[in-house]
Amino acid sequence: MKIVREDNGNVLLVLKECVPVSQIKSNDVDASFEKHVPQMKKIDNSVEVFVNHVMEEDHYIEWILVDYGSRQIIEHFSPGDVPKIVVEYQDGMKAYSYCNKHSLWISGEVF
C-alpha cells in the first residue's frame, strides 16, 4: 500500500501500482512528532487511535487510516471534531494520520 500526493494536491491511496508515482514519506515534515503521530492504545480487543492535534479551521487532521495489511479503514474529520477512532485489534496493524499542513504520519507500536 502507498499513499501519494499528486501535483494538484490530491492525496491517493494506491492499492496496486501500475506506473511509478511519488510516495509521501511519513513523519518527514519538520513539525511536532507528538502532535501528529497516531497514538494506539489497546483496550481489551479494541484499539483507540488518537491524534493529539489541534482541530482548527485552517489546521487539522483530515483523516486517520488504519492498515491491517489486507484491508484498511479510513475515517475523515472536520475542524472541531475529535481525531479519534476505535477499531478492532490485530497484530501488526498500523495507523496513519494526515494533517492538512504537515502531511502524513505513521504510528508507533500499540500500547
Number of residues that bind Fe ion (CB under 5 A): 3
73 CB burial (10 A radius; 0-12, 13-18, 19+): middle
Task: With CA atoms as reference, report the closest residue to 97 among 84, 109, 108, 106.
Answer: 106
The 64-103 contact track toward Fe ion, x by CB under 5 A, reads -----------------------------------x-xx-
Minimum CB distance to Fe ion, residue 63 (Å): 13
DSSP type of residue 16: S
Minimum CB distance to Fe ion, residue 36 (Å): 6
